[in-house]
Structure 1
Amino acid sequence: MKRIAALDMLRGYALVCIMLDHMPMGVLRSFTLANFTVFDAAELFVLLSGFLVGMVWIKVEAREGRRAAQWRFLKRAYKVWLALVIGAVLLALFSHLLFEFKMNHKAVWFQYSRWIVENPFGYVATVALMWMQPNLLDVLALYVLLIATAPITVPFLLRMPFTAMAVSAAIWWLSEPLNAMIPNQREGQGLLFNPFGWQLLFFTGVAMGAFRDQFMPVLRQRTGVLNGISVAILLFGLAIIICWRIGAPAKPVADMLKQVYGSIDKWSLDGLRYMSILAATWLVAVPLASAFEWMARTLLGRDLAEIGRGGLWSFVTCVLLSIWGDALDMTVSPGATGFLLRVAIDIWVIVALWISAALWLRREEWMGRVRSWLTRLT
């Protein structure tokens, strides 16, 4: 299937934002998506993942049949689960190593570094059974559940799209009590990323990927109206962000805005975050499509696209680099020099993430060269 460069670039951008957002003392985290909207890179990542599932499913089913598509995504769910387990082990071991070198860090809970040494089999088992989801990797647990149910839910969506989305919306509405029924370490609170809430965004993405050729011509007839609604939603969200940043002086305005949107809950995916990511998606896909296509052709856009194409490898790498970057930030002294050093650390982890993804994508080429070199030596 031909790749869409702008989508790969946006996936890479989402991973960079996720990495920087988990470095509490970083400088560039002040410029990530979450600083300008009420949603963040997690919504972008999940929506794009759903969109790609929809596109790939349609292609595979048309070429090889429905069973092939179902089997493909069952295998994909297994790979995501395996990435969750391996990533959790690497996260805990890397955190332990940093503590051994007296490099404190706050990006990840310190107990993981203890459990992996004191009770490694117990740690791996609780992660593998998804009883525990280490922070920074918890979105992968959500992704495992969403992909694992795709062999049933996607055919339902393709056969009865309006009914399926109505069911998805109803499940989203009841997401909090449903999530509380999932047994895990959080004692009646369910998963941190509520799968019953976030499934609505994921399957919205699946529907976009599967039915875009049918609904986009209809929506384009209302481009002006949809542009205006989308801009209004994003400006409303920006006003909320500005009020939060101003603090007490803006409290009357913040209280007035809250009367409209109620509350914002990332973990169960509240309605405003959902509408905001959809509004941004429309603007990117239609009025700003040419601009994003141009950006995808730039050097930075191509580098971000490589990060995006790295998939699960890039995700696990960005988690480990966020821990390392956080540990390095905590060694920096305050002041102008420290500020510049933290900027340098931010740039370094971004470049390291790109190098890691580039090496992964070219692994067959350079591993072949290494094997040839070793063969000549022997």
Structure 2
Amino acid sequence: MKRIAALDMLRGYALVCIMLDHMPIGLLRNVTLTNFAVFDAAELFVLLSGFLVGMVWVKVEARQGRRAAQIRFLRRAAQVWLALIAGAILLALFSALLFKLHMNHTAVWFQYARWIVEHPIGYVATVALMWMQPNLLDVLALYVLLIATVPLALPIMLRWPWLGLGVSVVVWIFAQPLNALIPNQRPGPGLLFNPFGWQLLFFAGVAMGAFRDRFMPVLRRRAALLTWVSAGVLLFGLVIVLAWKIGAPAKPVSQFLRQITGGIDKWSLDFMRFIAIVAASWIVAVPLARPFAWMAATRPGEALAEIGRGGLFSFVVCVMLSIWGDALDMTVAPGPANFWWRLAIDIWLVVAFWAIAAVWMRRDMWLPPLRARLGLG
């Protein structure tokens, strides 16, 4: 399947934002997506993942049949589950190593470092059963569940799209009581990323990928209207974010806006966050399609695309670098005098992220010789 460079770039951008957002005292986290929109990189990552699922499913089913597509995504769900387990082990071991080196960090809960040493089998088992989802990796637990539903949901969606949409909306409406039924290690009910809420965004992305050739010609007839509406939604979201950032002086504005939007909850994916990311997808895909294609052809765009193409590997690297960056930040004394040190740490992490992803994407060049040298065939 021919890759879309702008799509890979946006996936890479989402992963970089996730890395920076998970560094509590980092500097560049103040200029990531969440500072300018009512949604953040998590929504972008899930929407793009759904879009890719829709595109791939249609291609595989057309060439190899539905059974091949179903098997492919069952295997993909297993791969994501294994990545969750491997990532949880690496996260806990890396956290333990940093504590051993007296490098404090708060990006992940300190108990993981203790459990992997004191109760390794229990730690791995609880992660594998998804009774526990270590923070920073909890979106992978969500992704396992979403991908696992694809072999059943996609045939229904492709044959009866309006029925699929209706079921998804109904599940989203009852997301919180449904999530409360999932046994979990958390003190709160269910999974942190509510799968019954986030499935609406994921399958919206799937529909965009699977049906884009059908509905885009229809939507383009109303392109001007949709662009103005989408821009209005994004500007409204920006006002909400600015009111949050201003704090107490803007409290009357925040209270007024809350009467319009209701509660804005990331973890169950409220309507405002959902409609905002959908509006942003239209702006990027239609009026800004050429600028984004141009950006994807630049050196920074190509670097982000390499990160995006790294898939699960890039996500796990993102988590490890978040922890390391947090630990490095905590070695720098607070205060404006150390602004450049903090900026250097953030920039170094972004460059390191790209370098690791670039090496991984070129593994066909160096892995076979390495295996031969080690006698592994």
Give the TM-score, by structure 2 length.
0.98
1:218 aligns with 2:218: yes
Moved more, 123-132 or 366-375: 366-375
User: Contact (CA 8 Å) 1:181, 1:188: kept in 2 or not?
Assistant: no
1:295 equivalent to 2:295? Answer yes
Aligned twin of 1:152: 152
Counterpart in the other structure of 1:184? 184
Counterpart CA distance in 1 for 2:300 and 2:165 is 37
Aligned residue for 1:90?
Answer: 90
Q: Which residue type is aligned with residue 90 of structure 1? A: L
Superposed, 1:207-356 pairs within 5 Å as: 207-356=207-356
Aligned to 1:37: 37
Other structure's SS at 2:340 match:
helix
Structure 1 segments of 4+ aligned residues over 6 angstroms from their partners: none
CA contact 1:11–1:308 (8 Å) conserved in 2: yes
Q: Distance in 1 between matches of 2:147 and 2:40?
A: 21
Letter in 2 for 1:250: A
Cα deviation digits, residues 30-52 of structure 1 (max 9, x gap): 01000000100000000000000
Quick one: distance in 2 between partners of 1:188 and 1:22?
A: 21
For residues 48-67 of structure 1, the aligned pairs below 5 Å read 48-67=48-67
Which deviations, in whole Å up to 9, do the C-alpha atoms of 1:145-195 show, x marking residues without a partner? 000110000111001001101110000000000000011112560000000
Match of 1:138 in 2: 138
| 1:300 CA displacement | 0.1
Q: How many residues align?
A: 375
Unaligned residue ranges in structure 1 (runs of 5+): none
Residue 124 of structure 2: aligned partner: 124
**Partner secondary structure for residue 168 of structure 2:** helix
Structure 2 residue runs of 5 or longer lacking an equivalent are none
TM-score normalised by L of structure 1? 0.98
Residue 336 of structure 1 deviates from its aligned partner by 3.8
The answer to whether 1:26 aligns with 2:17 is no
SS at match of 2:135: coil
* Alignment match, 1:370: 370
Q: What's the offset of the Cα at 1:373?
A: 5.7
Matches of 2:44 and 2:54 in 1, distance apart?
15
- Equivalent position SS for 1:23: coil
Aligned partners of 1:18 and 1:335: how far apart in 2? 25
Q: Partners of 2:20 and 2:269 in 1: how far apart? A: 21
Is 2:193 aligned against 1:193?
A: yes
Is contact 1:182-1:188 (8 Å) kept? Answer: no
Which residue identity is paired with 1:172?
W
Q: Distance in 2 between matches of 1:36 and 1:301?
A: 20
Q: Deviations over 1:211-245 (max 9, x none)?
A: 00000000000011101110110011100111111
Q: In the alignment, residue 271 of structure 1 is paired with which amino acid?
A: F
Structure 1 position 337, deviation (Å): 4.0
Query: Residues 180, 102 of structure 1: CA spacing in aligned structure 2 closer, same or farther, 3 A cutoff?
Result: same
Residues in 2 aligned to 1:339 and 1:98: alpha-carbon distance in whole angstroms = 23
State the shift of 1:335 in Å. 3.2
